[in-house]
Amino acid sequence: MTATRKLLGLGGKPTAAARPVHGLRQNGRREPAGRPDQRAPAESAKRVDSASSQGRVRLGRPTKPILVACLVLLVAIAVGVAVGPAGLSLQQVAAALVVRLPWHPHVFVTPLDNAIVWQIRLPRVVLGVLVGSMLAGGGAAYQGVFRNPLADPYLLGVAAGGGLGATIVVVSGASTALMPPAAFAGATGAVALTYLLGSGAGRSGESPAGGNGTGSILLAGIAVAALLTAFQTYLQQEHSQTLTTVYSWILGGLSAATWSQIWTVLPYVAVSAVALLVHRRLLDVLRVGETEAASLGVNVARVRLLVVIAATLGVSAAVAVSGLIGFVGIIVPHVVRLMAGPSYRIVLPVSMIGGAAFLVLADVAARTVQAPSEVPIGVITAVAGAPFFLFVLRSRRARQVLS
């Protein structure tokens, strides 16, 4: 048992459910004293190792995929800063970046080039990194804690709550500066209502380690999302002159990115990312089953609550400044599983890095495909997401890894 708990990264003593009773008959024979039956935890550990070895990277070697993801992110950032409808050359972009360094060679940069790079492109790239990392990391966390490969960051009503909050600001005629805080309040309030309703089954005598608690929360999320979406639709129909503004926010975008928005969401993103990464080992334990995890001393209900709070905090902050950008939280974690295996020691950090790179590149496509006009970034991510699901449906290996 001690070896099993060390393998899974757990400390403390095993719970009573995990302690075998000495001297009792097991499968028709008497166990000798001093040699407790360790087959149940050994089988649980074996299942973790078996699930973790399905990919190309083993459980204990997350360095390589993280380095590869970081390299992809650096390339995406370079492309995001260098490419745009303004048509700046690489030399002009490099000069605008270098001129801000404390010690730099003498270069000439026009005020227009400097403004394009530092006030338009860089804020979009940095905000895309923060939003993409939270959408992908939140999706991976939800998929792990609910053991549902189709879970995404909007599962518990984040999208419906954020959309309703933004819609209320638009139809009321208030300043558009209030849309981000209203969307954040709506998203977090929706998840709080979902969890309050869904966890009621556990208080009525249901085992906290059972799967029914998870199912109740998911069903509550569907109901809350449907209710809030109905309210949002009603407000839109009653104020049809605001439909364009509301729909442009719903489809998502980074065109209004500013440095002030970045500094506003950065604390939420940092806290959320740290909390999710701290719990990545426990998400691996949950993969063997909630009953087995509870027998190994994991407080399943508490882990689920903490992960949901952390993921919701980051995703709500992302939604508040970017609108509703779909498919990122599903595409990126699944690609990571296909490439590097299902262990959350790898899936969570690589999903965050890969999600940042994916959204930056999607934003580049959004602002260049129909330049000088922009395509909503939600359209770009949806175009990428639909073929991916077709690939999953047709690929036997993908179905095995993602199941």
Q: How many domains does one find in the chain?
A: 1
Residues 151-190: tens digit of each pLDDT: 888 989 999 999 999 999 999 988 888 999 999 999 999 9
Answer whether residue 46 shows pLDDT above 70. Answer: no
pLDDT band at 333 (very low <50, low <70, confident <90, very high): very high
pLDDT band at 384 (very low <50, low <70, confident <90, very high): confident
Q: Does residue 34 fall inside a structural domain?
A: no
- Domain harbouring 230, CATH code: 1.10.3470.10
Q: Between these two residues, 86 and 317, which has the higher pLDDT value?
A: 317
Range of the domain at 186: 64-402
Which helix or strand (DSSP H or E) is residue 18 part of? none
Q: Does residue 187 fall inside a structural domain?
A: yes
Measured between alpha carbons, how far is 356 from 135 in angstroms, rounded to an integer? 9
Beta bridge partners of 29: 26
Q: What is the mean pLDDT of residues 72-76?
A: 96
Sign of the Cα pseudo-torsion (353, 355, 356, 357, in order): positive
Measured between alpha carbons, how far is 274 from 280 in angstroms, rounded to an integer? 10
Q: Does residue 280 fall inside a structural domain?
A: yes
- Find the range with the poorest average confidence among 122-126, 205-209, 296-300: 205-209
Answer whether residue 202 shows pLDDT above 60. Answer: no
Q: Does residue 57 fall inside a structural domain?
A: no
The candidate with the shortest Cα–Cα distance to 112, out of 94, 91, 90, 86, is: 86
Task: List helix spans (H) across 173-257.
Answer: 179-198, 200-203, 211-238, 243-250
Q: Does residue 49 fall inside a structural domain?
A: no
Q: Does residue 139 fall inside a structural domain?
A: yes
Residues 357-382: tens digit of each pLDDT: 999 999 999 998 887 888 889 899 98
Q: Does residue 14 fall inside a structural domain?
A: no
Residues 100-141: tens digit of each pLDDT: 887 767 778 888 988 999 999 999 999 999 999 999 999 999
Which helix or strand (DSSP H or E) is residue 103 part of? none
Q: What is the mean pLDDT of the chain?
A: 81
Which helix or strand (DSSP H or E) is residue 167 part of? helix 158-172
| pLDDT score at 381 | 92
149, 155, 156, 159 alpha-carbon torsion, rounded to 10°: 160
pLDDT band at 315 (very low <50, low <70, confident <90, very high): very high
Q: Does residue 58 fall inside a structural domain?
A: no
